[in-house]
């Protein structure tokens, strides 16, 4: 049965998802002037959820009551696999902008669609360019539009939460926005970094309580508090 599932992935699921990705990218480009509209976001959410429906992957979410309508946030998440992106995009109930590594700009259709959607590419090898990218995303964080950041900088090699980089929190400090920790669980087992096949494992996203970084005098203490909230949230399901 396991091998039939693997064959299904490459003969049926992934080809359908490729077509949906192309359609969503084209739709996003055509609606670039309405990139923050609810109907555009719904189409993008449908695309993300399709990865779970077509792969028969169960998803559960809790903590949505911590999000106040009209409030912009900086969402901070652990990073386990590519399914993190689709899980957050599909089920986080807000319009938001990703901070994405610059290399993704070159991915056919995905790079073009993400640019049209207003997501920001960050060149981590160029400190000046990275700071300019942060300023660009800050301009968009109004009227409830938020941002999502993976402060580890890369996917986990073992599923554990790594060290958080300080630069990822600069937006929250600059704008005085509350930080909401996102705790993802199961994504690493579904698709570990470097592995070719999806495995059927339940996934869960816990949306934590907002954290005001201004309550911490030491920036390192604030970052560690958010990291601990992400770690503890993985046990909240």
pLDDT at 124 (0 to 100): 67
pLDDT tens per residue across span 9-20: 999 999 999 999
Whether the predicted pLDDT of 237 surpasses 70? no
Query: What is the pLDDT, as a whole number, of residue 201?
Result: 94
pLDDT at 104 exceeding the cut of 90: no
Residue pLDDT, tens place only, 169-181? 888 888 889 999 9
Q: Give the model's pLDDT for residue 164.
A: 92
208 contacts 230 by C-beta, under 8 angstroms: yes
Domain extent, residue 29, equals 2-233
- Number of helices (H), then strands (E), belonging to the chain: the values are 9, 7
Count of structural domains within the chain: 1
CA distances from 153 to 20, 27, 163, 167 (A): 27, 29, 9, 10
CATH number at residue 127: 3.40.1130.10
Q: How many other CB atoms are there within 10 angstroms of residue 108's CB atom?
A: 10
Cα R_g (the chain), whole angstroms = 17
Look over the chain and give the mean of its residue pLDDT values, rounded to a whole number.
89
Q: Does the reported pTM lie above 0.95?
A: no
């Amino acid at each position: 049965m396991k091998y039939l599932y693997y064959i299904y992935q490459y003969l049926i699921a992934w080809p359908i998802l490729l077509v949906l990705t192309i359609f969503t990218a084209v739709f996003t480009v055509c609606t670039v002037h309405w990139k923050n509209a609810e109907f555009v976001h719904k189409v993008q959410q449908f695309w993300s959820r399709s990865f779970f429906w077509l792969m028969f992957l169960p998803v559960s979410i809790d903590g949505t009551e911590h999000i106040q309508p009209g409030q912009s946030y900086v969402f901070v998440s652990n990073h386990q696999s590519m399914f993190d992106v689709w899980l957050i995009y599909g089920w986080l109930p807000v319009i938001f902008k990703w901070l994405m590594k610059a290399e993704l700009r070159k991915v056919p259709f995905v790079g073009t669609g993400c640019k049209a959607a207003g997501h920001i590419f960050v060149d981590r090898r160029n400190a000046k360019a990275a700071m300019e990218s942060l300023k660009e995303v800050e301009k968009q964080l109004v009227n409830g539009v938020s941002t999502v950041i993976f402060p580890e900088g890369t996917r986990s090699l073992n599923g554990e939460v790594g060290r958080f980089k300080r630069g990822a929190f600069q937006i929250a400090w600059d704008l005085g926005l509350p930080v909401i920790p996102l705790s993802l669980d199961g994504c690493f087992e579904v698709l570990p970094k470097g592995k070719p096949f999806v495995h059927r494992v339940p996934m869960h996203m816990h949306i934590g309580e907002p954290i005001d970084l201004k309550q911490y005098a030491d920036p390192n203490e604030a970052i560690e508090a958010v990291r601990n909230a992400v770690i503890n949230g993985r046990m909240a399901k």
